[in-house]
């Protein structure tokens, strides 16, 4: 996995991810009402995949407000944000400290862990409430070659290899969370999802345009063909059957709720057609997928290619058309740790 673009840019341009989280806030509040404290009386709330933190503020505020509303204003809460070691944690801490929408208040404490959430991150039986939003579609690594860079182009044996890797990663995520959760604790997960045959993530029109843009950059000499052919986005958009597949009963973890949500294109609903929409889509794709797509390039070249691909080519292509470019789907889930 690769961390999202830093320097405050993910915070500024990841509004579609924020819109996705809203579909699970009531479920998170419901889970927070019964979140069990640890032996010392503190409830530990873990945010798995925080990036720069802005999209974590509303969920963490919802959890904290519910906990202190049920248990009393004196209830202490430890919020732990996790992400990869190369995540921009400076922006995360600054956001939590300074943003007017921060969940900070008396009795609430913040910490962070810089490791992959595909391993156990906290001691066994210490987490009272878990949250992960628009993060578990990322795989630990690209499991194999693709005839293109976007995972839904995979067919035949390529698709089988990626499906197996995605299944293994999802099982590893749930196994780690089952170990961390206290008896009676819950884990709420929101993720991009797939549907249909062939598999569709809802971002295919944008990714097809990016593929054309990469071809243009090869033709103009900005990239060479080998660099383009080595690019891949290590993500997998799972179907409902894939989300439900792991057998978690032996882990003491049960799937209480599953809901499929048609998100569509929140950026188009906000901006409509035009230049503002085009810039918003290009910026959102750049901060979300630019780092993993271009990670094989030297940093200075990466910045040049990123500007040419996203800020120039993709923005112009979207501005020249009408209608939405995304048809995102979500899976919203709640898992409960047995008593």
* Other beta carbons within 10 Å of 38: 16
Q: What are the two backbone dihedrals, phi and then psi, of residue 183, each rounded to the nearest 5 degrees? A: -55, 130
Q: Spell out the SS3 assignment of 17-84.
A: HHHHHHHHHHHHHHHHHCCCCCCCCCEEEEEECCCCCHHHHHHHHHHHHHHHHHHCCCCCEEEEEEEC
At residue 204, the pLDDT reads: 95
At residue 11, the pLDDT reads: 47
Q: At what angle do helices 25-33 and 54-71 cross, to 10 degrees?
A: 30
At residue 47, the pLDDT reads: 98
DSSP 100-169: TT----TTEEEEEEES-TTS--S-TT-EEEEEEES-TTB-SS--S--SSSSGGG--HHHHHHHHHHHHHH
Rg (CA), the chain: 20
Q: How far apart are CA 64 and CA 333, in angstroms?
A: 20
**Residue with token string 């290619």:** 305
Give yes or no for residue 62 having a pLDDT over 90: yes
At residue 35, the pLDDT reads: 98
pLDDT > 70 in the chain, percent = 95
At residue 247, the pLDDT reads: 86
Q: At what angle do helices 89-98 and 54-71 cross, to 10 degrees?
A: 50
Average pLDDT over residues 121-148: 96
pLDDT in tens, 243-298: 999 988 889 999 999 999 999 999 999 999 999 999 999 999 998 899 999 999 99
Q: How far apart are CA 134 and CA 324, in angstroms?
A: 20
Structure tokens at 70: 């049920």
pLDDT in tens, 100-134: 999 999 999 999 999 999 999 999 999 999 999 99
Structure tokens at 162: 């990626």
Q: Spell out the SS3 assignment of 250-272.
A: HHCEEEEEEEEEEEECHHHHHHC
Instruction: Please provide the average confidence, as pLDDT, over all residues in the chain.
Output: 93
* 193 three-class SS: strand
At residue 4, the pLDDT reads: 46
Q: Which residue has the higher pLDDT, 339 or 256?
A: 256
At residue 198, the pLDDT reads: 84
At residue 2, the pLDDT reads: 58
Give yes or no for residue 170 having a pLDDT over 90: yes
pLDDT in tens, 2-51: 554 556 655 454 466 767 889 999 999 999 999 999 999 999 999 999 99
pTM: predicted TM-score of the whole model, two decimal places: 0.94
């Amino acid at each position: 996995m690769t961390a999202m673009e830093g320097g405050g840019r993910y915070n500024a341009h990841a509004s579609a991810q924020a819109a996705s989280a809203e579909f699970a806030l009531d479920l998170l509040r419901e889970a927070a009402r019964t979140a069990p404290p640890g032996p010392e009386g503190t409830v530990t709330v873990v945010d798995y995949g925080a990036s720069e933190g802005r999209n974590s503020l509303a969920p963490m505020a919802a959890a904290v407000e519910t906990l202190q509303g049920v248990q009393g204003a004196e209830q202490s809460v430890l919020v732990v944000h996790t992400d990869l070691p190369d995540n921009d944690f400076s922006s995360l801490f600054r956001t939590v400290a300074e943003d007017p929408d921060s969940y900070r208040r008396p009795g609430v404490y913040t910490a962070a862990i810089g490791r992959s959430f595909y391993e156990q991150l906290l001691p066994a039986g210490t987490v009272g409430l878990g949250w992960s939003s628009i993060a578990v579609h990322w795989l630990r690594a690209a499991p194999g070659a693709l005839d293109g860079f976007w995972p839904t182009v995979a067919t035949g044996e390529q698709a089988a290899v990626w499906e197996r890797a995605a299944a293994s990663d999802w099982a590893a995520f749930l196994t780690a969370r089952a170990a961390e959760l206290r008896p009676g604790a819950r884990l709420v997960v929101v993720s991009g999802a797939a549907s249909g045959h062939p598999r569709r993530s809802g971002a295919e029109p944008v990714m097809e345009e990016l593929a054309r843009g990469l071809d243009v950059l090869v033709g103009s000499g900005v990239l060479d063909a080998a660099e383009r052919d080595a690019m891949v986005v290590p993500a997998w958009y799972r179907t409902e059957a894939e989300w439900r597949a792991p057998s978690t009963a032996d882990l003491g973890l049960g799937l209480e709720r599953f809901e499929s949500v048609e998100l569509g294109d929140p950026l188009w609903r906000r901006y409509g057609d035009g230049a503002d929409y085009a810039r918003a889509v290009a910026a959102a794709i750049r901060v979300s997928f630019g780092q993993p797509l271009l990670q094989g390039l030297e940093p200075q070249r990466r910045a040049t290619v990123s500007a040419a691909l996203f800020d120039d080519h993709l923005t112009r292509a979207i501005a020249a058309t009408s209608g939405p470019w995304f048809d995102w789907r979500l899976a919203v889930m709640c898992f409960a740790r047995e008593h």
